[in-house]
Amino acid sequence: MTASVLLAGCDTDQVSLATNAKANQPVPPKLLAAMVEKDMDLQSPILVRLFKQEAELEVWKQARNGQFALLKTYPICRWSGDLGPKVREGDRQAPEGFYSINPSQMNPQSAYYLSFNTGYPNAFDKALGRTGSQLMVHGDCSSRGCYAMTDEQIAEIYSLGRESFFGGQKAFQLQAYPFKMTPVNMAKHRNNPNMPFWKMIKEGYDHFEVTRQEPKVDFCEKKYVFDAAKPADAKRDPVFDASAKCPAYVIPEDVVAAVRGKQAKDEAEYARLVAKGTPVARMNTGIDGGMNKIFAAKIPEGSTGLSEGAEGTTLQMLAMAKAPGTIPGHVNPPKPNLDSVASAPAPQEEPVVAVSAPATSARVATAAPAEKSGGFFSNLGRKMGMGSSDTTATTPPPQATASVAPATTTPPTAASRLKAAVTRFVPGHDKSKDAAKDAPKPAATVAAKPAEPAKQPDTRLAATRPALKPSVADGATEATQIMGAAPVISSNSFDSRFGAMK
């Protein structure tokens, strides 16, 4: 019967926010001290902002002067998908936009310790036909379209939301962004197809930045409208419909002036950054989501993925820092999305390397099936994109040396320069024979020339060859690799486990 009562109350504002010990944990003393320092009441309203690229969740709280101030920033343990809004069910995207969280969306019985529903899709999402459900902010550091924190973090965030509801807040606002909407970030992502949407939600970002008040959010004509109010001569408030024409409305003049002033500065800085050639961020990386660097530093082979954070010394230094919560053993750092990589078109090769071998006894970078993994020189050649796996150090193919075109006939091509570079690393190779071998000769002369005896390879460096990484295959995939092509990553070489469904 108790379970039935709880389920029946899930769609009402009367659902209990603290049905168990997890959901009833008090606000930590450090946060209480921070509230006192910032002139905040325990049960004053809150507002939450999320940033994917920075992998941060901010909790803002209203001070006694009526404005919101930043109470605490939480590093996000894991988010999935790419920068950009959620579009359809199953796309692994974490939502972006403005959402409202009421008490019925708080889940004290969550399988992921504690959670609250983001409210996706909102009216704007529905007007565009976007689909998806049960997109949460929860614990367990495991995400498939959610924003995942550690259990300790979500316990704090949950307690702050609970107290704000106890204080009378009907719903708190959740603002989810791809990144902090600064001129430098807008410049870096200026060619992203999501930019029109991002500029639209940046309007709400700017409203909050200049007023430190929760912006009023409405929708009409399939767009966001912020801080709309009725005109002076209107008798009632405007009625908004996300799919219908916008009603008559005004925005307070003081807000308009402040927002325009900020936007003018942002646009001037944006133009300066573009003019000086600020690099454009890479799109369609195939990487699944991101992780704050404080967590990436704690995980073997950890990576921040699409979130910001240096992968070298910075992560090594953070490895000694205390993590903000317990990281479960099943957590996976961001990795390439194998489905995305498999569906991506194959890279185009340069025409100069996609040529057939001459019909003689000599073989140059031919693609033959591999029967064994080969030795040092074979692997070196394959690493440089030249040989096939049957070109081993113990049984080199006849005349399988790289050639350089004579300077007196045609200028060296990119392929010949690459071959020449490889020959410099092959011990015992007689480069004086290359020019003579590649010089134009009548076909009869080439056919009549006896084959040179095979040389015994110099294996002095074979003992120093490092072992291949597990993600690089030694099989037939590399054996058929054409010279100059990028190495192929085995589809089963990555740990493709992801967290369980919410």
Instruction: Supply the DSSP string of 129-158, one letter for each residue.
Output: T------EEESTT--SSSEE--HHHHHHHH
Place of tokens 């924190």: 149
**Do 173 and 197 form a contact (C-beta atoms < 8 A)?**
no
- Residue 138 known to be catalytic: yes
- The secondary element (H helix, E strand) that includes residue 62 is strand 56-62
Q: Indicate which residue of 141, 146, 207, 220 is catalytic.
A: 146
Q: From CA 46, how far away is CA 169, in angstroms rounded?
A: 8
* Residue (of 334, 86, 124, 316) closest to 219 by Cα position: 124
**Do 281 and 188 form a contact (C-beta atoms < 8 A)?**
yes
- The secondary element (H helix, E strand) that includes residue 486 is none
Instruction: Supply the DSSP string of 391-456, one letter for each residue.
Output: --SSSPPTT-------TTTSPPPHHHHHHHHHHTTSTT--THHHHHHHS---HHHHHHSPPPPPPP
- Retrieve residue 415's tokens: 């392929």
Place of tokens 């909102």: 122
**Do 332 and 338 form a contact (C-beta atoms < 8 A)?**
no
Q: From CA 288, how far away is CA 144, in angstroms rounded?
A: 10
Share in percent of the chain as helix, strand, coil (round to 5): 30, 10, 60
DSSP state of 77: S
What are the backbone angles phi and psi of residue 435, rounded to the nearest 5°? -65, -40
A 10 A CB-CB count for 176 gives 25
Phi-psi group of 230: left, alpha or beta (phi > 0 → left; psi -120 to 50 → alpha; rest → beta): beta
Q: Indicate which residue of 138, 189, 207, 429 is catalytic.
A: 138
Instruction: Round the CA-based radius of gyration of the chain to a whole number and report it.
Output: 31
- Residue 246 known to be catalytic: no
* Residue (of 300, 307, 306, 298) closest to 326 by Cα position: 298
Which residues participate in catalysis according to the annotation? 138, 146
